[in-house]
Structure 1
Amino acid sequence: MENSELPKYVQWIGWIGTFTACCMYVFYIPQIIDNLHGHVTQPWQPAAAVANCLLWVIYGTKAKIWPVVASNAPGILFGLIAFITAL
């Protein structure tokens, strides 16, 4: 089913989900700051998030499902930064 064939409320749910997913990954910033200030956290959750988000971005790109791409792309960036700073 093409995105344009979906009911308008379903399209809105997709974009609201995109926004909340982006918020989830932006909230890595306090963890990154703690890591940089010597309060190092475990790196495994951000590493798993990077792998998960990368797979979803690839899938969303191939399937041309842009809310999936947009909601997972920040997870690659912020998850990777959180992982690296936790090492």
Structure 2
Amino acid sequence: MSNLDELPKYVYVIGWIGTFTACCMYIFYIPQILDNLHGHVTNPLQPAAATINCLLWVWYGIKVKDWPVAAANAPGILFGAIAFFTAF
């Protein structure tokens, strides 16, 4: 869809609700990060995949000016990368 202004209002609201829930999903990496830092290391593959996935979606969101997509995935870059690096 090329013009987001043509969407019904509820679709716009759903997009921002999805943004909020996606941010929560990545912020919930904090317990995993804390476990890693306390010596209970976890597998780094899932946070590595999440980091790459989020990086691509943020890039896409910025390029097409789809701000909910970019905003929803931005925390995943930070928290996914931290979870990945603390797993070592």
TM range (shorter): over 0.9
Is 1:26 matched with 2:37?
Answer: no
Mapped partners of 1:59, 1:77: distance in 2? 17
Letter in 1 for 2:17: I
Count of aligned pairs: 87
Is 1:71 matched with 2:47?
Answer: no
Letter in 2 for 1:82: A
TM-score normalised over the length of structure 2: 0.96
TM-score normalised over the length of structure 1: 0.97
Identity of aligned residues (%): 76
| Displacement after TM superposition at 1:85 (Å) | 0.2
Unaligned runs of 5+ in 2: none
Secondary structure at the aligned position of 1:38 is classed as coil
| Cα RMSD, aligned residues only | 0.6
| Displacement after TM superposition at 1:57 (Å) | 0.6
Q: Deviations over 1:9-64 (max 9, x none)?
A: 00011000000000000000000000000000000000000000000011111000
